[in-house]
């Protein structure tokens, strides 16, 4: 199965935009992994109840973590990383009634401190870096060898590529990937 992650999930986007994006996943019967963060620029995000309800009541969602906010976790100390991850896990449990199992760090970075912190809170780190354009290029030419890719729902230049991305994901999954 290929993991398609909605990276940098932005709570400032209106609910209808997320509904429209996710409907493409529902139509394609492909799981969308929402990679969540709960603070932006040092402030708590406005976690909108109508968007949470939509996610909870619609199929083809997977809830995972990006972190507490879009930080350079590879530059942080272990105890601060644990604090951030524990807070983000708590918010996932509070709003979505799930405990995430995977941490997709911002900028696909990695450090020993991050690995220790992830182990402490029970997360696996996945930092594969296939953006939507790279995935489409490689999958179209038969050279895709990864297991995940990401897109940003708020980037219009990426969103125009989502139908082709979903077609290729579905094609690869039907071929046993």
**27-61 tens-digit pLDDT:** 999 999 999 999 998 899 999 999 999 999 999 99
Counting beta carbons within 10 angstroms of the beta carbon of residue 84, is it exposed (0 to 12), middle (13 to 18) or buried (19 or more)?
Answer: buried
The CATH number given to 3-174 is 3.20.20.370
Per-residue buried b or exposed e for 64-81, using 16+ beta carbons within 10 Å of the residue's own CB: bbbbbbbbebbebeeeeb
Q: How far apart are the first and last CA of the chain?
A: 5
The percentage of residues in the chain with a pLDDT greater than 70, rounded to a whole number, is 100
Q: What value does the mean pLDDT of the chain take?
A: 96
pLDDT in tens, 5-23: 999 999 999 999 999 999 9
Q: Where are the domains of the chain?
A: 3-174
Say what the pLDDT of residue 72 is: 96
What is the predicted pLDDT for the residue at 172? 96
Kindly report whether the global pTM for this prediction surpasses the value 0.85: yes
Report, as an integer, the average pLDDT of 155-165: 97
pLDDT band of 1, cuts 50, 70, 90: confident
The pLDDT tens digits of the residues spanning 82-106 come to: 999 999 999 999 999 999 999 999 9
Which tokens is 80 given?
A: 């601060």
């Amino acid at each position: 199965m290929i993991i398609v992650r909605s990276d940098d999930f932005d709570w400032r986007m209106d609910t209808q935009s997320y509904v429209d994006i996710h409907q493409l996943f529902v139509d394609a019967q492909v799981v969308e992994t929402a990679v969540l963060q709960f603070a932006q620029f040092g402030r708590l995000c406005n976690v909108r109840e109508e968007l949470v309800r939509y996610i909870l009541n619609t199929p083809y969602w997977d809830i995972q973590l990006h972190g507490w906010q879009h930080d350079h976790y590879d530059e942080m100390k272990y105890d601060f990383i644990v604090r951030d991850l524990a807070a983000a896990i708590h918010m996932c449990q509070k709003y979505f009634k799930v405990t995430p199992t995977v941490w997709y760090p911002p900028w696909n970075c990695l450090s020993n401190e991050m690995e220790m912190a992830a182990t402490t809170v029970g997360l696996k780190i996945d930092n594969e870096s296939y953006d939507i354009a790279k995935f489409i290029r490689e999958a179209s030419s038969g050279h895709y060898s990864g297991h995940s890719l990401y897109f940003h729902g708020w980037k219009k230049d990426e969103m125009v590529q989502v139908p082709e991305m979903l077609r290729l994901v579905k094609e690869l999954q039907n071929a046993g990937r």
